[in-house]
Amino acid sequence: MRSNEYRVILLAAGSGSRMRDITNNKPKCLLPVGNMPLIWYPLSLLEREGFKEVNVITLDVQHAEVKKAVDKLGLKLDVKFHTIRESDDLGTADALKKVAICGEWKEDVIVMGCDFITDQSLDEMIKLHRTTGAGMSAFFFPSIPESTSVPGPKSKIRTDRDLVVLDKHNRLLMLTSAMDHDENMSVRMRIIKKLGRIDIKSRLTDGHFYILDNRVWNFIISEENSDMSLKGEVLPFIIKQQFSHLNKVVHKESKGELKRLSVDIDDEQETEETHKFFKHFTVDELQNLTDLYNGYNNHPDSSYGRYLDDRLRCFAIIAPSGSSFKVNTLASYCEVNRQVLLAENWERFAKSKPLVRVDPSCGSKTRKIESSLVGANTQIGEGVKIEKCSIGSSCIIEQNVTLSGCIIMDGVTIKEGTVLTDCLISDKANIGTNCNLKSCLVDAKFSVPSITESSSKILSGVLMSTE
């Protein structure tokens, strides 16, 4: 139903550079969250919102694996894969250009990351985009608290924070990374003058969910756009263009004397890029006329018209706390796994799919399993205690093992008598008898020798440093 209105591009070629420890053997988009691959969440969201077609961008080396996993999900979506070469090391904007080669789109475009989990309705976001007539809408949600416990060494990894500047109507005025500003962040006086009041938020996470107007999309894929990264360069550029004097609505009668030009031109360097950008914004006479006659004004207290007479407007959609996750760090990965275990949260994020706590193929021996998920074909021995864990498929858990707060991926073997607390065990790892691990991260295919006692460590065959 939406296919005539929006095209969707799902970015699944991310390497997961912020969570190397668990993504060096597995594509990020296939990491299990609540025993479903990560990519299932955005895909199922799109499916239940009535989308029919999705374009997924993957790396060529992971393509087969991802395709197999997606096919297995049994979604009704028509998933089209586009591959990019890993060796090219393309930015997101470049990757989008690759997709655009396949044909010209007249529709607006939704670009989302494969690591985006939300319980918000796309319908409402789209409606907001529509009503505001935004050139670009970006989705934000409150960041997860920094105190979230993470398996592995307690190194203070500074998370990359975004600085989001908004006005009272949630119009997006600036979007930069806090890393780019050592001490000072400067905001143009003109913005403040125009709006009177702006809010700078540092605790919002960018969901990497963007609704792009067709004109903006055409700019991004055009030759004129030389930037590589969508988030880092292209979007800040577009957001900045809102304050270009070329962005003004020019009404028929005032064509000769550009309205309030003198105010805007003083510090505006007319860069070539700005001109190139606004080439894609052809004058829409009827839209201007509609705006001219419209009685609605969201800035009634200023001398400007609605939306400050701007043609290009960017808006932020801000979701309530806890409603969305961006799984791009180890902390958020662990947090989302913890959240999904609660039945009510599962219902929020996975809506259509019923929660199967323990797969029926696991047998029914005496054991104690509380608020956990256990995948198919996992063997669980006698006297096993499992609490708040998610356990993948084809694992072997022997007698008298105690697990609490763990994330255990597929094919893991845990020998008898072992106690694991808040650990993350990657695929096909092997843990010996009577181990006691706390907040540890066990690498894929690594065998932990028997009677190991350890806490807050990365157990792996290779010496690795967290990037």
Q: How many residues bind another protein (CB under 8 A)?
A: 36
Neighbours of 270 (CB within 10 A): 11
In the complex, the smallest distance separating the C-beta of residue 169 from another protein, rounded to whole angstroms, is 7
- Can you tell me which of 68, 72, 85, 127 binds another protein, judged by CB under 8 A? 127
For another protein, which is the closer residue by CB, 134 or 444? 134
Cβ atoms of residues 99 and 9 within 8 Å? yes
Return the range that interacts with another protein (CB under 8 A); candidates 15-23, 26-34, 288-296, 325-333: 288-296
- Can you tell me which of 17, 254, 297, 450 binds another protein, judged by CB under 8 A? 297
294 contributes a contact to another protein by CB under 8 A? yes
- Can you tell me which of 48, 169, 338, 445 binds another protein, judged by CB under 8 A? 169
For residue 271, give every residue at least 6 positions away whose Cβ sits within 8 Å of its Cβ, in sequence order, or none.
Answer: none
For another protein, which is the closer residue by CB, 208 or 259? 259
Beta bridge partners of 210: 111, 138
For another protein, which is the closer residue by CB, 244 or 324? 324
Cβ atoms of residues 53 and 77 within 8 Å? yes
293 contributes a contact to another protein by CB under 8 A? yes
In the complex, the smallest distance separating the C-beta of residue 433 from another protein, rounded to whole angstroms, is 51
In the complex, the smallest distance separating the C-beta of residue 297 from another protein, rounded to whole angstroms, is 4
Q: What is the contact mask toward another protein in residues 107 to 126, using x (rule: CB under 8 A)?
A: xx-----------x---x--
In the complex, the smallest distance separating the C-beta of residue 321 from another protein, rounded to whole angstroms, is 10
For another protein, which is the closer residue by CB, 208 or 428? 208
- Residue 246 Ramachandran class (φ > 0 left, ψ -120 to 50 alpha, else beta): alpha
Q: What is the contact mask toward another protein in residues 392 to 431, using x (rule: CB under 8 A)?
A: ----------------------------------------
5-34 residues near another protein, rule: CB under 8 A: 5
In the complex, the smallest distance separating the C-beta of residue 47 from another protein, rounded to whole angstroms, is 17
Cβ atoms of residues 230 and 111 within 8 Å? yes
For another protein, which is the closer residue by CB, 106 or 197? 106
206 contributes a contact to another protein by CB under 8 A? no
Return the range that interacts with another protein (CB under 8 A); candidates 87-95, 104-112, 373-381, 448-456: 104-112
In the complex, the smallest distance separating the C-beta of residue 93 from another protein, rounded to whole angstroms, is 24
130 contributes a contact to another protein by CB under 8 A? yes
252-260, long-range: CB within 8 Å, 24+ apart, which pairs? 252/285, 252/288, 252/289, 259/309
300-329 residues near another protein, rule: CB under 8 A: 300-303, 317-320
Return the range that interacts with another protein (CB under 8 A); candidates 32-40, 234-242, 287-295, 415-423: 287-295
For residue 394, give every residue at least 6 positions away whose Cβ sits within 8 Å of its Cβ, in sequence order, or none.
Answer: 375, 376, 377, 378, 410, 411
284 contributes a contact to another protein by CB under 8 A? yes
In the complex, the smallest distance separating the C-beta of residue 121 from another protein, rounded to whole angstroms, is 9
**Residues lying near another protein in the complex (CB under 8 A):** 1, 4-5, 106-108, 120, 124, 127-128, 130-133, 169-170, 284, 286-287, 289-297, 300-303, 317-320
